[in-house]
Amino acid sequence: MTMSGSARPEENSKTTPPKPRIAVLKLASCDGCQLAFLGLGDKLLELSGQAEIVHFAEAGPLGPLTGLDITFIEGSLSTREDHDMVLSVRKESRFLVTIGACATSGGIQALRNLASGPLLSSLYPSPEVIDFLDQSTPVASLVPVDLELWGCPVTGDQILLALRSLLFGALPPVQTDKVCLECKRRGIACVTVTKQIPCLGPVTLTGCGALCPSFDRGCYGCFGPAENPETSSLARSFSGLGLTPAEIARRFLFINSNAPAFREEGRRWQGGDPHE
Amino acid sequence: MTEESRGFLERERFRELFDRLLVRGYQTIAPVVRDGTIVYAEVSGPEDLPRGLRDLQTPGSYRLEAEESGRFFAWANGPQALKPLLFAPREILWETRRESDGALSFSSSSPSPRPLAVIGIRACDLSALALSDRHFGKGPFPDPGYALRRRDLFLVAVDCSHLADTCFCVSTGDGPEAQSGFDLALGELDSGFLVRSGSEKGRELLRELSLPPPESSMEEALKIQGDRARSSQTRRLPSRNLQNALASRPDHPHWNNLAARCLSCGNCTSVCPTCFCFSEREEPALDGCSSLHLREWDSCFTAGHSYIHPAPLRGETRFRYRQWLTHKLDYWHDQYGRSGCVGCGRCISWCPVGIDFTEDLPLLLGEADGH
Amino acid sequence: MDTNPHIPRAAIIRDRIQEAPTVFTLRLEPEGDTSVPFRFTPGQFNMVGVMGLGEVPLSIVSDPSDLDFFDHTVRIVGRVTGAMARMGPGDRVSIRGPFGNGWPMDATRGRDIVLVSGGLGCAPLVSVVNYVVRRREDFGALTVLHGVKNPRDLFWKERFSRLNGIGGTRVFLTSDTGGSGWEGAVGPVTNLIENISVTKKTTAKICGPEPMMIATVGKLLDQGLAEEDLWVSLERNMQCAAGFCGHCQLGEMFVCRSGPVFRYSEIKNRLGIRGL
């Protein structure tokens, strides 16, 4: 354990402890969450004064994945190699943090978990060269995860707050509020109430700063299900706003289709209105 | 109680009110149209106001449409009351710094607001303001941020002439006319405004405007307008005091019916002008040497609101809804001497699934207690 | 409330005692402006903060006549208490408080005191034990009934056994599970109530999980104790601790201001209701 696991000022220590070792890894994903890291700009430089970024392919360093204090993983488990890497890195990490929808719920690629029929042959001319697992799954389905940062992608602020807290040796507070609260705090008029736009905000975790409603669009649910998501009531109201059962199912079976609350509600509507 | 002065402000002279406030050093906030609704924002004159518009509000729906009279206030309300201006949705309470020797120091973050004049406050929101004053102003150490923002407010109220379908202020005793707590109040007619003062500050400003006295026909027209508004209001709360009426029914089966519809999203509490809950959190700087202590609007519909290790006391939606409504209509009597509901109807319009608690209340109370 | 609740002050850790694997006591000395001395009554609490992580409400367990320091006994349950556990002498925490009303020590002077506690619920009552033992002649008989789930949950074992017999003090311990080496009773703490005889001079102070307090109150009422002579200390979510933020509401009460100690007769209608 190389990190000062103490909330004390480092100055109290007689010798300067080695800097905490951080790794940023990637599984099946679009790299958007790593970009949120890179987008930190000056803050990333400031971070390098406090921690050693030993492995971050997108940014350059490709050091060994051993003796890690904080490991961030982007992407879902999609191949056998992904499994092996996650098992090994879990053993080497004090804190394992998933960043983004892919690593946390399986991501948009988990839509293939729901597909029936020959998906590969309908997409690729030579499907036999593609080797992946049956399902796209979150990292937590394989190993214990200390902290899950939702989002598609995560934001720089989310990463910074989590990092700072982990550098103190403590987990950050877990965000559980819904997008609606953030809309109201920001003074954004509800798009459902004013424009009858279907919005997943009432069941979705906040963290994006209510980005879509601030541009007159309904929430897409990028940050996954919030605590106590009343998906059934919301889905019924979507029906009242004129969405067909298939459209309602697609709202839930989208970026976080493999998150249980969204998956179950989406499936309920796949075959038609479950209340009829 | 200061003596009331009255005057008539022609529509064409409305700008003079804005000008006088500017001369007196106020930043003026008034209703403007934004994102399909009406919100408070900084304005420079009457041209910024939502003139010739009215609001159509029903449970879960808010729309604006054109209106003939060309009035400035032919609508009832938007999603915001005065709450965000005084009880900021997010604010820094203090900053902690850790020195190199490990010593901690704390500096409070006091807002230094410009004196604010707010034009267009409705009667319900004045009642809500009085309730918020009681909450945030209590004790030997009132809430510092609220108190600072509250200090230099100049409040220009407007009597409601066009009530929304969702309003029920008559039954709560809070509207449609502004009764107290304002500096000036406006009663709007097609030709202009009857202005009355409610404070010494208001009287002074009215004197500076040097308005002619209102004609008795105007007074009469305004009275008829108010009566018509009053009788047009169909939604209502039971007129009796509900103290202990809901608290004594924690196991009523209808709470489950409400919970089956409720999203537990907290929109109702956010738009409620008297809901005051907030949560606090730390935002440490990356260097680990300082940290901001923030507060944000919270809601009794969140898990964090009732969390004590290892789980929230109110994990289920039915408990959260019960807490909200019982507090609002019942416990509030013990806490602040009256119901916490001022009849603005915002929780009905801005509920994404259109829950109208005035419909559910009789069911919770038993039919005999209803309308 | 004498001190400004809206801004913390610093306190330095003078001593740290490990009471049990997950329980420790911090001895704190206020720093900075000492023109407003730190004064409290047993049963009051502080909001104790770790910079960058947050604050937690903690009962003050030391004696109010110790003017130079005060003690908090803490169980590790989350991020903040976990970080506090890693702190030691010389480290600083932030303090706001004291908050709440505390136990009615003056009003119960001269009476026989029965203390009933469960689990860590004994922390608010330890302050009463300390208070009464220091002022033995001011009070009648002192009886301590303390229950834990498992023998390993018991801390202050030595203190309890030292206390037993001093000035006629009687201590009864029980464990839900029992086990080898356990010398106390086996069963719920309510079983210990048969050890006391209620008189007109008896006052009971109770602290623990709500179901335990309700059961205890029931037994004591059966024994003839009047509702007015029963006091309970409640736990709620505390954030501002000054009656503004709304989290601690129990019915019409802000527990942080009108509690955490209540006369049973004042609070009985609000106890035992799920989700209140």
Which helix (H) or strand (E) covers residue B259, if one does? helix B254-261
Q: Which residue of B has its CA nearest to C90?
A: B102
Task: Tell me whether residue A275 is in a domain.
Answer: no
The verdict on a CB contact (< 8 Å) between A7 and C86 is: yes
Report yes or no: B342 and B274 within 8 Å, Cβ to Cβ.
Answer: yes
Of A51-65, A92-106, A228-242, the poorest mean pLDDT is in: A51-65
Whether A7 has its CB under 8 Å from any CB of chain C: the answer is yes
Tell me the per-residue pLDDT of B103-112, one tens digit each, with 9 for 90 and over: 999 999 877 7
Task: Tell me whether residue A103 is in a domain.
Answer: yes
Tell me the per-residue pLDDT of B47-95, one tens digit each, with 9 for 90 and over: 999 999 999 999 999 999 999 999 999 999 999 999 999 999 999 999 9
Q: Please give the backbone phi and psi of residue B352, each rounded to the nearest 5 degrees, phi first.
A: -60, -25
Supply the mean pLDDT for chain B.
94
Domain that holds residue A78: 10-167
Neighbouring C-alpha atoms within 13 Å toward the C-beta of C229: 20
Q: Please give the backbone phi and psi of residue A53, each rounded to the nearest 5 degrees, phi first.
A: -85, 100
Q: Which residue of B has its CA nearest to C210?
A: B313
DSSP letters, B178-200, are --SS-SEEEEEETTEEEEEE-SH
Q: At what angle are helices B254-261 and B357-365 packed, to 10 degrees? A: 160
For strands C142-148 and B153-158, give the pairing: unpaired
- What pLDDT, on the 0 to 100 scale, is given for residue A127? 84
- Clarify whether residues A161 and A198 are in a common domain: no
- What pLDDT, on the 0 to 100 scale, is given for residue B114? 86
pLDDT band at B243 (very low <50, low <70, confident <90, very high): confident
Gap from A9 CA to chain C (nearest CA, Å): 8
For strands B61-66 and B37-42, give the pairing: unpaired
When pLDDT is averaged across residues A257-269 and rounded to a whole number, the result is 97
- Clarify whether residues A36 and A136 are in a common domain: yes
Report yes or no: A151 and A103 within 8 Å, Cβ to Cβ.
Answer: no
pLDDT band at A1 (very low <50, low <70, confident <90, very high): very low
For residues B197 and B17, give the distance between their C-alpha atoms in angstroms, rounded to a whole number.
13
- Clarify whether residues A89 and A205 are in a common domain: no
The verdict on a CB contact (< 8 Å) between B295 and C51 is: no
The verdict on a CB contact (< 8 Å) between B60 and A199 is: no
Look at chain B and count its residues: 371
Q: Please give the backbone phi and psi of residue C60, each rounded to the nearest 5 degrees, phi first.
A: -90, 125
The verdict on a CB contact (< 8 Å) between B96 and C94 is: yes
Tell me the per-residue pLDDT of A54-90, one tens digit each, with 9 for 90 and over: 999 988 889 999 999 999 999 999 999 999 999 999 9
Q: Which two tokens stand for residue C178?
A: 């029992």
Name which of C53, C90, C91 is nearest A165 (Cβ-Cβ).
C53
Question: Rg of the Cα trace of chain C?
Answer: 18
Tell me the per-residue pLDDT of B11-24, one tens digit each, with 9 for 90 and over: 999 999 999 999 99
Mutant choice from B106, B272, B274, B327 vs C, greatest count of C C-beta within 10 A: B106
For residues B199 and C41, give the distance between their C-alpha atoms in angstroms, rounded to a whole number.
45
- What pLDDT, on the 0 to 100 scale, is given for residue C154? 86
- Subunits close to A (at least 3 CB pairs below 8 A): B, C
The verdict on a CB contact (< 8 Å) between B103 and C243 is: no
For residues A55 and A49, give the distance between their C-alpha atoms in angstroms, rounded to a whole number.
16
For residues A194 and A218, give the distance between their C-alpha atoms in angstroms, rounded to a whole number.
12
Whether C122 has its CB under 8 Å from any CB of chain A: the answer is no
- Quote the strand ranges of chain B, DSSP E: 6-10, 27-34, 37-42, 53-58, 61-66, 90-98, 104-108, 116-121, 153-158, 184-189, 192-197, 278-284, 290-297, 307-308, 311-312
DSSP letters, chain C, are --S-TTS-EEEEEEEEEEEETTEEEEEEEE-S--SS-----TT-EEEEEETTTEEEEEEB-S-TT--S-EEEEEE--SHHHHHHHT--TT-EEEEEEEES----TTTTTTSEEEEEEEGGGHHHHHHHHHHHHHTGGGS--EEEEEEESSGGG---HHHHHHHTTGGG-EEEEEESS--TT--SEES-GGGGGGG----TTEEEEEES-HHHHHHHHHHHHHTT--GGGEEEE-----SSSSS-S-TTEETTEEHHHH-SEEEHHHHGGGSS-TT-
Which helix (H) or strand (E) covers residue A99, if one does? strand A93-99
Among residues A133, A167, A201, which one ends one of the domains? Answer: A167
Q: Per the structure, how many domains does chain A have?
A: 2
- Clarify whether residues A146 and A185 are in a common domain: no
Where b means 16+ CB within 10 Å and e means fewer, C225-254 reads: beeebbbbbbbbbbbbbbbbbbbbbbbbbb
For residues B214 and B198, give the distance between their C-alpha atoms in angstroms, rounded to a whole number.
17
Mutant choice from A12, A16, A184, A203 vs B, greatest count of B C-beta within 10 A: A184
For residues A154 and C56, give the distance between their C-alpha atoms in angstroms, rounded to a whole number.
29
* Fold assignment, C112-270: Rossmann fold (3.40.50)
Task: Tell me whether residue A3 is in a domain.
Answer: no
Q: Is the pLDDT of residue B233 over 90?
A: yes
- What pLDDT, on the 0 to 100 scale, is given for residue C266? 94
Q: Is the pLDDT of residue B119 over 50?
A: yes
* B249 Cβ neighbours under 8 A, 6+ residues apart: B364, B365
pLDDT band at B367 (very low <50, low <70, confident <90, very high): low
- What pLDDT, on the 0 to 100 scale, is given for residue A11? 43
Whether A160 has its CB under 8 Å from any CB of chain C: the answer is no
Q: Is the pLDDT of residue A203 over 80?
A: yes
When pLDDT is averaged across residues A211-238 and rounded to a whole number, the result is 97
* CATH code at position A61: 3.40.50.700
For strands C249-250 and C54-59, give the pairing: unpaired
- What pLDDT, on the 0 to 100 scale, is given for residue C124? 84
Gap from C7 CA to chain B (nearest CA, Å): 7
Domain boundaries, chain B: 6-232, 254-369
- What pLDDT, on the 0 to 100 scale, is given for residue A273? 93
- What pLDDT, on the 0 to 100 scale, is given for residue A15? 65
The verdict on a CB contact (< 8 Å) between A7 and C52 is: yes
Whether C213 has its CB under 8 Å from any CB of chain A: the answer is no
Tell me the per-residue pLDDT of B263-307, one tens digit each, with 9 for 90 and over: 999 999 999 999 999 999 999 999 999 999 999 999 999 999 999
- Alpha helix (H) ranges present in chain A? 32-38, 42-50, 80-92, 100-105, 119-123, 156-167, 179-185, 191-195, 211-214, 231-240, 245-252, 260-270
- What pLDDT, on the 0 to 100 scale, is given for residue C2? 66
* Between B294 and A49, residue with greater pLDDT: B294
Task: Tell me whether residue A24 is in a domain.
Answer: yes
Name which of A165, A177, A228 is nearest B317 (Cβ-Cβ).
A228
Class of domain C9-99: mainly beta
Residues of chain B in contact with residue A233, where contact means CB-CB under 8 angstroms, are 260-263, 353
Whether B310 has its CB under 8 Å from any CB of chain A: the answer is no
Q: Is the pLDDT of residue B370 over 60?
A: no
Q: Is the pLDDT of residue A14 over 70?
A: no
What CA–CA distances, in Å, run from B370 to B258, B358, C227? 17, 9, 36
- Clarify whether residues A240 and A183 are in a common domain: yes
- What pLDDT, on the 0 to 100 scale, is given for residue A8? 45
Q: Is the pLDDT of residue B145 over 50?
A: yes
Gap from C194 CA to chain B (nearest CA, Å): 31
Whether C87 has its CB under 8 Å from any CB of chain A: the answer is yes
For residues A190 and B60, give the distance between their C-alpha atoms in angstroms, rounded to a whole number.
10
- Clarify whether residues A14 and A80 are in a common domain: yes
Domain boundaries, chain C: 9-99, 112-270
pLDDT band at A222 (very low <50, low <70, confident <90, very high): very high
The verdict on a CB contact (< 8 Å) between B61 and A199 is: no
Interface of B with A in 268-287 (CB under 8 A): 270-271, 281, 283-287
CB pairs A-B closer than 8 Å: 132
Q: Please give the backbone phi and psi of residue C170, each rounded to the nearest 5 degrees, phi first.
A: -120, 130
For residues B341 and C2, give the distance between their C-alpha atoms in angstroms, rounded to a whole number.
33
Among residues A126, A143, A167, which one ends one of the domains? Answer: A167
Among residues A114, A141, A167, which one ends one of the domains? Answer: A167
Tell me the per-residue pLDDT of C7-25, one tens digit each, with 9 for 90 and over: 999 999 999 999 988 999 9
When pLDDT is averaged across residues A150-169 and rounded to a whole number, the result is 95
Where b means 16+ CB within 10 Å and e means fewer, A62-72 reads: eeebeebbbbb
Q: Shortest CA distance to C96 belongs to which of C5, C33, C35?
A: C5
- What pLDDT, on the 0 to 100 scale, is given for residue C121? 63
Gap from C148 CA to chain A (nearest CA, Å): 29
pLDDT band at A148 (very low <50, low <70, confident <90, very high): very high
Instruction: Give residue for tokens 């022609």.
Output: B10
- What pLDDT, on the 0 to 100 scale, is given for residue A124? 86
Q: Is the pLDDT of residue A103 over 70?
A: yes
Name which of C52, C80, C86 is nearest A6 (Cβ-Cβ).
C86
Task: Tell me whether residue A1 is in a domain.
Answer: no
- Clarify whether residues A128 and A159 are in a common domain: yes
Per-residue pLDDT of chain C (276 residues; tens, 9 = 90+): 468 899 999 999 999 999 988 999 999 999 987 777 789 999 999 999 999 999 999 999 999 999 899 999 999 999 999 999 999 999 999 999 999 999 999 999 999 999 999 977 678 888 999 899 999 999 999 999 999 998 888 888 888 888 888 888 999 999 999 888 888 999 999 999 999 989 999 999 999 999 999 999 999 999 999 999 999 999 999 999 999 999 999 999 999 999 999 999 999 999 999 999
- Subunits close to C (at least 3 CB pairs below 8 A): A, B
- What pLDDT, on the 0 to 100 scale, is given for residue A132? 86
pLDDT band at B2 (very low <50, low <70, confident <90, very high): low
Q: Shortest CA distance to C34 belongs to which of C81, C75, C67?
A: C67
Question: Rg of the Cα trace of chain A?
Answer: 20
- Clarify whether residues A163 and A73 are in a common domain: yes
The verdict on a CB contact (< 8 Å) between B322 and C94 is: no
